[in-house]
Amino acid sequence: MYIAQETRYDTMRYNRCGKSGLKLPEISLGLWHNFGSNNNYDTMAQLCCTAFDNGITHFDLANNYGPTPGAAEENFGRILKKEFANYRDELVISTKAGYDMWPGPYGNWGSKKYLVASLNQSLQRMGLEYVDIFYHHRPDPKTPLEETAEALDHIVKSGKALYVGISNYNKEQTSAIAKLFKDMRTPFIINQRKYSLFVRDIETDGLKHYAAENGIGIITFSPLAQGLLTERYLNGIPKDSRIRTDGRFLKEESITPEILEKVRKLNAIARERGQSLAQMALAWILRDGDITSVLIGASKTSQILDNLNMMENTHFSQEEREKIDRILTN
């Protein structure tokens, strides 16, 4: 049976999530990839145990993570039972609902019918009585926002989640649902958004500033732009790249010579800082103290350990900030 390292809390930094009492590690482990029905149990367990041994207490899932949909939750449930049975109270476990999950009119979007049913299924797959954070995964343009908010409020008051989150909501959508949650006294604490050196929408739409001003946490996903902000693409697209086997999230045609030149210039700055490009890309997200946690994915334990080393230097001088911005805007 797995026994966690006694030193697991010695080096990780934990940030308060908005104005709540919940703290999240600066790095969290996302199970979006590499935890599907086609993945090896021992490898998945090693990833989770390595993360926890190094203070990563937060594991992020969604109902549709796989393949197949639901597989990541099922596999994590096996890991919880076999490896983490004695550590549940030290873990923050989150899941989501909002994307297509089962046939018919009740398996998608943001109705109360779908959200409640989906969480019940998620809890069953993971063998849990509750999750720590339950997210609505994406805005629903047709369901009244009041219904989605009431569904999330009901879920917390039923004891099946401790806190509420939203994902992929922009500033205006976040502000609108936050007002509803405030009236209902719902413990709404976090928004999950894509954010990286190459994707800065939370800055341009004002969400980053709004969240900081209003006590809402932000956790970011795809911080390495699906691998583009690593050394993997410095010399072009490798033959075994995920782009050529699964181009859903990073398209080959989007990796232009201009983008690769930016990657090389960013890598040069990272080297000057004594970091890998991936480490600098993660550290950059945390540079202002406005981001609660960064979600990473991993297929190898060495990737987790390498990413953790970024915490040694999350400070950026004004000169470095300006140099990075010039590279990205040119």
Tell me, yes or no, whether 306 lies in a domain.
yes
Tell me, yes or no, whether 96 lies in a domain.
yes
pLDDT tens digits, 174-230: 999 999 999 999 999 999 999 999 999 999 999 999 999 999 999 999 999 999 999
Distance, in Å, from the CA atom of 269 to the CA atom of 272, rounded to the nearest integer, reads 5
Tell me, yes or no, whether 281 lies in a domain.
no
Strands 131-136 and 58-60: unpaired
Instruction: Give one word for 2, left, alpha or beta, with left for phi > 0 and alpha for psi -120 to 50.
Output: beta
Tell me, yes or no, whether 266 lies in a domain.
no
> What CATH number is attached to the domain comprising 58?
3.20.20.100
Tell me, yes or no, whether 26 lies in a domain.
yes
Number of domains in the chain: 1
CA-CA-CA-CA dihedral for 119, 124, 128, 131, to nearest 10: -10
Spell out the per-residue pLDDT of the chain, length 330, in tens: 899 999 999 999 999 999 999 999 999 999 999 999 999 999 999 999 999 999 999 999 999 999 999 999 999 999 999 999 999 999 999 999 999 999 999 999 999 999 999 999 999 999 999 999 999 999 999 999 999 999 999 999 999 999 999 999 999 999 999 999 999 999 999 999 999 999 999 999 999 999 999 999 999 999 999 999 998 888 777 776 666 556 566 777 778 899 999 999 999 999 999 999 999 999 999 999 999 999 999 999 999 999 999 999 999 999 999 999 999 998
Residues 6 or more apart from 237 whose CB is under 8 A from it?
Answer: 243, 244, 252, 255
Tell me, yes or no, whether 265 lies in a domain.
no
Distance, in Å, from the CA atom of 307 to the CA atom of 149, rounded to the nearest integer, reads 35
pLDDT tens digits, 235-254: 777 776 666 556 566 777 77
Domain that includes residue 92, residue range: 14-227+287-312
